[in-house]
Amino acid sequence: MVTAIPFPFARIVTTAVVVAAVVLFGMLVDNAFVITLAGYTFAFSLFALSINVMLGGLGEVPLGQCVFFGIGAYGAAIGMVTLKLPFEVALLLSMAASVVAAALIGMLTLKLTGAYFSIVSWGLSGVAMVAALNLPDLTGGPLGMFGFPPITLLGIPLSEPRAYFFACAGLLAGAVLLMAAVRDSRFGAAIESVRQNPHLARSVGVDVFRERLKAFTLSAPLAALAGALCVPYTQIVTPEVFSVSNTVDALLMVLLGGSRLAVGPIIGALIFSIIPYFFDMDPNVRVLVFSGAIILVMMFAPGGLHQMAQALVRRFSGGAR
């Protein structure tokens, strides 16, 4: 396991500083737009975490991970508008649906690896988009679904910027802790062995396909949660949620922050939304700049920015370990 900070003490201090910064940010910033955007960034970070289960965990590039994001978004929308369910129930149902979908899709496709998995995964998201466009009774067709009732989560009004921010931050923190626990578990070790050398893993008794399926099934509800949590911000769900550009955004976040670090995707997500906000970037310029950055990162530091930072720290602290 690779960690950026070697001492538990330093890790505790860092965690405390980060938590304090988030709480202060949520209390002190008054600009409703900024704080809503920050909440949305945290919600979308959950999607990046989901992608990282596949990318950092299994070493696969899941171009179609937006299928589960879309299931979450459409699940929340259909649950609230068509079935008149409360948001919490719709959220849980769509996460459950994403688990079932992941188990089915995984059983079919996880035998494939590398580019073949990426292509088929992308293809399934294409099928999902065609289906969303062509089933207007279920999904509202090309126009999508909108006109939601005021959304609350366990009594917290998500339409209120500050409440939305803290709800997303809390859920993200929970997800990060869960992911860290998973990574330190036996299952996490099995996954790591599968990523590094599937043949060796199998020779010592790891059921490679089963572990891959478990990781895939774990990644799906995270993406669905992200999809549902983005609904209070976007206020509309269109077939575009199944577009590959949705996956690309999250993939860029993971690669920027570094796939080997538990909070790497979140660091990437912050970079991905803060820099364009300050430079007032068009979304296309954003994709251009960050895709270019990814090519450079892959050429010169395949571990992401966090690996670069680590190398710098090591150089300045003079540590030759």
Distance CA 85, CA 35 (A): 27
C-alpha span between 48 and 134 (Å, rounded): 28
Considering only 68-76, 117-125, 168-176, 313-321, which stretch makes contact with another protein by CB under 8 A? 117-125
Q: Are 219 and 47 in contact (CB under 8 A)?
A: no
- The backbone torsions φ and ψ at residue 60, rounded to the nearest 5 degrees and listed phi first, read -110, 150
Lookup result for tokens 């190398």: 311
Cα 20 to its chain centre, rounded Å, is: 23
Cβ atoms of 269 and 44 closer than 8 Å: yes
**239 lies in the binding site for another protein (CB under 8 A):** no
Near another protein by CB under 8 A: residue from 21, 138, 200, 298 = 298
Query: 237 by DSSP, 3-state: which?
Result: strand
Smallest CA-to-CA distance from 226 within 175, 267, 166, 260 is with: 175
Query: Smallest distance from the beta carbon of 137 to another protein, in angstroms?
Result: 14
Among 230, 255, 269, 305, binds another protein (CB under 8 A): 255
Q: Which is nearer to another protein, 202 or 214 (CB)?
A: 202
User: End-to-end alpha-carbon separation of the chain, Å?
Assistant: 17
Looking at the DSSP bridge assignments, the partners of residue 152 are 157
What is the dihedral sign for C-alpha 88, 43, 184, 102? positive
Chain center to CA of 62: 11
Could you say whether residue 96 binds another protein (CB under 8 A)?
no
Residue from the set 146, 209, 236, 281 that interacts with another protein by CB under 8 A: 209
**Residue 208, interface with another protein (CB under 8 A)?**
yes
- Does the protein bind another protein through residue 118 (CB under 8 A)? yes
Q: Is 288 a residue that touches another protein (CB under 8 A)? A: yes
Instruction: Classify the C-alpha dihedral 283-287-293-298 as positive or negative.
Output: positive
Q: Does 213 bind another protein (CB under 8 A)?
A: no
Smaller CB separation from another protein, 89 or 285: 285
Taking CB under 8 A as the criterion, the residue among 48, 95, 124, 262 binding another protein is 124
The yes or no reply on residue 282 touching another protein (CB under 8 A) is: yes
Based on the shown chain and the rule CB under 8 A, indicate whether residue 248 belongs to the binding site for another protein: yes
**Segment 156-195, which members bind another protein (CB under 8 A)?**
none
Distance CA 3, CA 15 (A): 14
Does residue 215 belong to the site contacting another protein (CB under 8 A)?
no
55 binds another protein (CB under 8 A): yes
Binding site for another protein (CB under 8 A): 55, 59-61, 63, 108-109, 111-116, 118-120, 122-124, 126-127, 130-131, 133-134, 198, 202, 208-209, 212, 244, 248, 251-252, 255, 282, 284-285, 287-288, 291-292, 294-295, 298-299, 302
